[in-house]
C-alpha cells in the first residue's frame, strides 16, 4: 500500500523551510538539466524560490502557529514494478493525491484551495540511524539498492484564500461543533490513498497488502509493542553513532553543521550577530585528531547561545580556549570557566526536578564564590545528583543542598584534590548525558525556558 507520512519540522513555526527545500535539491546537481522540479495540480515546473515565497508570505498566522508541514509518499516494490516505475504515471497519482488530501478536511476544499507541493525522487540514501550504517557495512550518504522512487512534499498552513488554517496533524476528526469544524483523519486518508492507486491504475491488490488487512491483523497492543520495539532499536542504533564513533570525514561535517547552525540558525535574529572562523575550528580539531574537545567546546557555546548569552563579534578564541579544558576537573579550571560549568551542572540537575522545587543557581554560586571557588558547593551538587539517581528527587532540593554544606564534604582517606577528582567523575557522568543529546543531533537541549531565574526566597543565615 502507498505509505503516507506527515512530519512537523521542529522550527516550522519560526524558521523558513529553506533547509528542507535545499535538502530536496540533493539529486538535482547530478541530473543537471534533467532535474526534477516541484509540482502540484496547477503547475509541473515550480522553482524552489516560489515555494519559499508562498510559505513565507502566508497571512494571519500567529508567532506560535506552525507555518508548514512536510512528509512523504512511499510505494512498495510490487507497486513500482506494476507501473514499470513510470514517473509520469506516478506524478498523475501525486496530483490526484492532493485532491484527496484537500477533501479529507471535510471543509468543501479542492486541490486548488491548498498550498501543496510535491517533488519526485528516484533514490534513497543510507542515514545514520540505519542498521547497516551502525554495523559499519554501509556509510551515511551511500545510495540504497533497488527501486526507491517516492515523493516528498511540503504543505502551507493556510488555504490559498488565507481564510482557513489547515493541519494534517490535527486531532479533530470530522467534528460538527466547537472551535474546529471538520478536522483531518490520517487513517481515512491512508484508505483513500490505497483506493486511489488501485482504481487509477487497475491494480489488483493482494489481500495481505491491503491497509485493512494490516489493521485487522495487528491489535492496538501489538502495535504499541511494535512501535516501542522500533523506538528502542532506533535509540540503540543512534546511541552507537555518537561523535566518537563517526569517521573523520563525518566528524568534520558534523562540526561544520554545528558552526553553521550557531551562526545562522539560533543566532539569526540577534541584532549583533556573532561570527565563528570555521577554518580555525576545523584546524584545531584536526590537530587534536578530532578527539571531541573542539566539538564539546562548540556544544558549550551553542548551549550558552540558546540560553540567552549574547556575545558580539568573533567567538572563535573563546571556543578554542574552552577546548583546552573540556576534560579538566573543576578544580583545574580557570576561574573564568568555573561559573560556566557550575551553572550548567545546576541546569542538568534542575531538569530532573519538579518546576516548583528547582535549585537557585545564583544563590548557590554566591556561596561557592564565598568559598573562593574551591569546589565545596560543586561537590555538594555532585552528591545531590547521585542521590537523585539512586533514590529519586527529595522534597526541598535547595534545603538539602544547603544542609549538606554544613557537613564535611571530603571523602575519607582522600586528599582534597583527589576528593575533587572523585566528585568530578560523578558530575562528569551527568554532564555527558547532556553532551550526548547534542552529539545525537538534538540541538534543542537546554531551551531558554529552562533558564528562567528562580523566584528569590528570603535569605536564611547558614549555621557555622
Angle at CA of residue 431, ends 425 and 432, nearest 5°: 85
Query: 274-275 and 173-175 as β-strands: parallel, antiparallel, unpaired?
Result: unpaired
* Tens-digit pLDDT profile for residues 382-419: 888 888 777 777 788 888 888 888 764 444 444 445 55
Q: In what order do the strands lie in the sheet with 68-74?
A: 3-7, 68-74, 150-156, 116-121
Nearest partner of 288 among 253, 257, 315, 323, judged by Cα? 323
Q: pLDDT band for position 201 (50/70/90)?
A: very high
Which 3 state secondary structure label does DSSP give 424? helix
Angle at CA of residue 425, ends 377 and 417, nearest 5°: 65
Average pLDDT, the chain: 78
16: pLDDT strictly greater than 80: no
Q: What is the mean pLDDT of residues 75-95?
A: 94
Q: What is the mean pLDDT of residues 225-250?
A: 55
State the Cα–Cα distance between residues 7 and 72, nearest whole angstrom. 9
* Tens-digit pLDDT profile for residues 49-66: 999 999 989 998 888 888
Cβ-contact 463, 406 below 8 angstroms = yes
State the Cα–Cα distance between residues 306 and 310, nearest whole angstrom. 9
Range name among 259-263, 406-410, 436-440 with the lowest pLDDT average: 436-440
DSSP one-letter string for 379-412: HHHHHHHHHHHHH-PPS-HHHHHHHHTTS--SPT
Q: What does the pLDDT read at residue 125?
A: 84
Q: Which three cell numbers stand for residue 246?
A: 563517526
Q: List all residues 6 or more positions away from 109 whose beta carbon is below 8 Å from its beta carbon.
A: 102, 103, 159, 164, 166
- The model's pTM: 0.49
Q: Count of CB atoms within 10 A of residue 146's CB? A: 9
- Of the chain, the percentage scoring pLDDT greater than 70 comes to 72
Q: What does the pLDDT read at residue 433?
A: 47
Q: Averaging pLDDT over each range in 3-7, 100-104, 264-268, which range is the top one?
A: 100-104
In the beta sheet, which residues pair with residue 151?
73, 120
Cβ-contact 300, 445 below 8 angstroms = no
Q: What does the pLDDT read at residue 245?
A: 64
* DSSP 8-state assignment for residue 451: G
Q: Which three cell numbers stand for residue 400?
A: 538539602
Amino acid at each position: 500500500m502507498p505509505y503516507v507520512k506527515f512530519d512537523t519540522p521542529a522550527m516550522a513555526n519560526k524558521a523558513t523551510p529553506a533547509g528542507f527545500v535545499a535538502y530536496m535539491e540533493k539529486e538535482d546537481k547530478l541530473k543537471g538539466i534533467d532535474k526534477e522540479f516541484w509540482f502540484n495540480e496547477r503547475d509541473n515546473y515550480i522553482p524552489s524560490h516560489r515555494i519559499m515565497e508562498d510559505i513565507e508570505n502566508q497571512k494571519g498566522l500567529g508567532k506560535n502557529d506552525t507555518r508548514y508541514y512536510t512528509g512523504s509518499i512511499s510505494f512498495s516494490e510490487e507497486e513500482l514494478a506494476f507501473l514499470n516505475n513510470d514517473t509520469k504515471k506516478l506524478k498523475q497519482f501525486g496530483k490526484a493525491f492532493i485532491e484527496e488530501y484537500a477533501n479529507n478536511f471535510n471543509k468543501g476544499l479542492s486541490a486548488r484551495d491548498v498550498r501543496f507541493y510535491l517533488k519526485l525522487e528516484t533514490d534513497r540514501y543510507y542515514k545514520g540511524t540505519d542498521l547497516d550504517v551502525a554495523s559499519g557495512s554501509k556509510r551515511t550518504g551511500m545510495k540504497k539498492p533497488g527501486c526507491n522512487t517516492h515523493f516528498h512534499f511540503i504543505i502551507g498552513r493556510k488555504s490559498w484564500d488565507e481564510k482557513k488554517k489547515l493541519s494534517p496533524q490535527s486531532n479533530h476528526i470530522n467534528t460538527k461543533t466547537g472551535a474546529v469544524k471538520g478536522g483531518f483523519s490520517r487513517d481515512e486518508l491512508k484508505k483513500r490513498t490505497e483506493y486511489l492507486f488501485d482504481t487509477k491504475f487497475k491494480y489488483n491488490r493482494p489481500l495481505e497488502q491491503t491497509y485493512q488487512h494490516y489493521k485487522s491483523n495487528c491489535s492496538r497492543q501489538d502495535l504499541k509493542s511494535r512501535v516501542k520495539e522500533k523506538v528502542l532499536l532506533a535509540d540503540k542504533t543512534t546511541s552507537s553513532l555518537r561523535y566518537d564513533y563517526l569517521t573523520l570525514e563525518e566528524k568534520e561535517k558534523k562540526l561544520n553543521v554545528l558552526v553553521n547552525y550557531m551562526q545562522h540558525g539560533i543566532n539569526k535574529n540577534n541584532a549583533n550577530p556573532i561570527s565563528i572562523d570555521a577554518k580555525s575550528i576545523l584546524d584545531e580539531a584536526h590537530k587534536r585528531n578530532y578527539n571531541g574537545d573542539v566539538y564539546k567546546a562548540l556544544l558549550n557555546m551553542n548551549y550558552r547561545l540558546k540560553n540567552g548569552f549574547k556575545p558580539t563579534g568573533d567567538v572563535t578564541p573563546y571556543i578554542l580556549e574552552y577546548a583546552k579544558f573540556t576534560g579538566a576537573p573543576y578544580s583545574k579550571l580557570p576561574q573564568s570557566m568555573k561559573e560556566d560549568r557550575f551553572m550548567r551542572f545546576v541546569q542538568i540537575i534542575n531538569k530532573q526536578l519538579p518546576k516548583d522545587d528547582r535549585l537557585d543557581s545564583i544563590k548557590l554560586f554566591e556561596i561557592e564564590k564565598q568559598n573562593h571557588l574551591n569546589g565545596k558547593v560543586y561537590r555538594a551538587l555532585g552528591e545531590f545528583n547521585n542521590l537523585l539517581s539512586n533514590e529519586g528527587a527529595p522534597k526541598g532540593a535547595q534545603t538539602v543542598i544547603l544542609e549538606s554544606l554544613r557537613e564535611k564534604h571530603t571523602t575519607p582517606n582522600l586528599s582534597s584534590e583527589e576528593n575533587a577528582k572523585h566528585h568530578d567523575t560523578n558530575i562528569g557522568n551527568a554532564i555527558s548525558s547532556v553532551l550526548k543529546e547534542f552529539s545525537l543531533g538534538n540541538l534543542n537541549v537546554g531551551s531558554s525556558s529552562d533558564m528562567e531565574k528562580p523566584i528569590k526566597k528570603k535569605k536564611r543565615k547558614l549555621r557555622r
